[in-house]
């Protein structure tokens, strides 16, 4: 049986030809495939990594960038833990399309999905999008940012390991939030139960006091003036809400020590 502590689904999206498949194959198989053909629909690969001595299984979904597959690929966004949005640093149109991709993501992915912007093909010397422009775009849209080269294996391992590390952190926080909520709920129930028990006990003790030891003094009497005291059975109070409102009655109720 495979032992792993976490399983995360990571989905790559972005224009056709930006290098999504090459990034996945570089990471999972350690190679840069020559003459990589276009992806048809979706493809997936699995790689188990180790972060903080824990085995993490990454299920990596490589989607086709071509428009005609869009309705198929969109359906894979929903259950993704992380979405990697890739553009080609040497191809301006792939960067210009990013807002459209973000709209797609917003429409079809979970609102809490981890989003990572990747500028691929840094090995090329015909760069069209400066690094700081990519970084600024990522910042504006609450995304992590990294530039990579699938060809030269630059930052590819780092990309997936960083994602795994962040997802573990997010998952731990969710676990501890869930744990805190559970503790809060338990504490609340306990408190409710205690309050109920306490109210019952105080009601019982007030009633016991009333029936056994409490004497009534009209408000003109001084406390302890036993000459005016009568047994509780003579005490009258008009508030039908019972023992809890006794203290506010005009007469003084004094408990004999």
- Two tokens, residue 44: 């997936």
Q: Any idea which residue has 């790559």 for tokens?
A: 12
Residue 66 is a binding residue for ligand GTP (CB under 6 A): yes
Between 42 and 102, CB nearer to ligand GTP:
42
Does position 150 bind ligand GTP by CB under 6 A? yes
Other C-beta atoms closer than 10 Å to the C-beta of 210 total: 19
Beta carbons of 98 and 59 less than 8 angstroms apart: no
Taking the complex as a whole, how short is the minimal distance between the CB of residue 154 and ligand GTP, in angstroms? 8
74 binds ligand GTP (CB under 6 A): no
244 binds ligand GTP (CB under 6 A): no
What pairing do the DSSP bridges indicate for beta strands 6-14 and 54-63? Answer: parallel
Question: Is there binding between residue 134 and ligand GTP (CB under 6 A)?
Answer: no
Stretch that binds ligand GTP, among 13-21, 128-136, 163-171, 216-224 (CB under 6 A): 13-21
Stretch that binds ligand GTP, among 75-83, 102-110, 118-126, 235-243 (CB under 6 A): 118-126
- In the complex, the smallest distance separating the C-beta of residue 117 from ligand GTP, rounded to whole angstroms, is 15
Select the span of 101-109, 149-157, 161-169, 227-235 touching ligand GTP (CB under 6 A): 149-157
Which listed range, 59-67, 94-102, 174-182, 191-199, lies at the site for ligand GTP (CB under 6 A)? Answer: 59-67
17 binds ligand GTP (CB under 6 A): yes
One of 10, 11, 18, 215 touching ligand GTP (CB under 6 A): 18
b/e for 121-137, b at 16 or more Cβ within 10 A?
A: bbeeeeeebeeeebbeb
Q: How many residues bind ligand GTP (CB under 6 A)?
A: 20
214 is a contact residue toward ligand GTP (CB under 6 A): no
* 60 is an interface residue for ligand GTP by CB under 6 A: no
158 in helix, strand or coil? helix
Report the residue from 11, 64, 146, 215 that binds ligand GTP according to the rule CB under 6 A: 64
Residue 39 found at the interface with ligand GTP (CB under 6 A): yes
Query: Cβ closer to ligand GTP: 16 or 207?
Result: 16
Q: CA angle, corner 29, sides to 34 and 157, nearest 5?
A: 105
Query: Helix 156-212 vs helix 20-29: angle between axes, to the nearest 10 degrees?
Result: 80
CB of 39 closer than 8 Å to CB of 65 = yes
Q: How far apart (Å, rounded) are the C-alpha atoms in residues 164 and 145?
A: 15
Q: Please answer whether residues 214 and 254 qualify as being in contact, where contact means their C-beta atoms are separated by less than 8 angstroms.
A: yes
Report the C-alpha dihedral over residues 34, 38, 44, 46, rounded to 10 degrees: 20
Is residue 217 within 8 Å of residue 254, measured between CB atoms?
yes
User: Residue 155, interface with ligand GTP (CB under 6 A)?
Assistant: no
> Using CB under 6 A as the criterion, which residues of the chain lie in contact with ligand GTP when the complex forms?
16-22, 36, 38-39, 64-66, 120-121, 123-124, 149-151
């Amino acid at each position: 049986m495979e032992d792993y502590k976490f399983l995360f689904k990571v989905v790559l999206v972005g224009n056709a030809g930006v290098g999504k498949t090459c990034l996945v194959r570089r990471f999972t198989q350690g190679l840069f495939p020559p003459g990589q053909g276009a992806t048809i629909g979706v493809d997936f690969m699995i790689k188990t990594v180790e972060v903080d001595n824990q085995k993490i299984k990454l299920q990596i979904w490589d989607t086709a960038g071509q428009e005609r597959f869009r309705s198929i690929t969109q359906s894979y966004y929903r259950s993704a833990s992380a979405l990697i949005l890739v553009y080609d640093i040497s191809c301006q149109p792939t960067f210009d399309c990013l807002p459209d991709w973000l709209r797609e993501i917003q429409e079809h992915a979970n609102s809490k999905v981890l989003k990572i912007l990747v500028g691929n093909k840094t090995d090329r010397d015909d760069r069209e999008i400066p690094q700081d422009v990519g970084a600024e775009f990522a910042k504006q849209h609450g995304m992590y940012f990294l530039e990579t080269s699938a060809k030269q294996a630059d930052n590819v391992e780092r990309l997936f390991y960083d994602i795994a590390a962040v997802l573990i952190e997010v998952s731990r926080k969710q676990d501890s939030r869930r744990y805190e909520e559970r503790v809060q709920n338990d504490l609340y129930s306990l408190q409710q139960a205690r309050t109920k028990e306490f109210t019952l006990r105080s009601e019982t003790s007030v009633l016991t006091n009333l029936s056994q030891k409490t004497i009534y003094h009209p408000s003109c009497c001084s406390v302890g003036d036993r000459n005016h005291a009568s047994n509780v059975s003579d005490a009258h109070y008009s508030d039908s809400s019972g023992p809890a409102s006794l203290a506010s009655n005009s007469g003084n109720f004094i408990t004999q020590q």
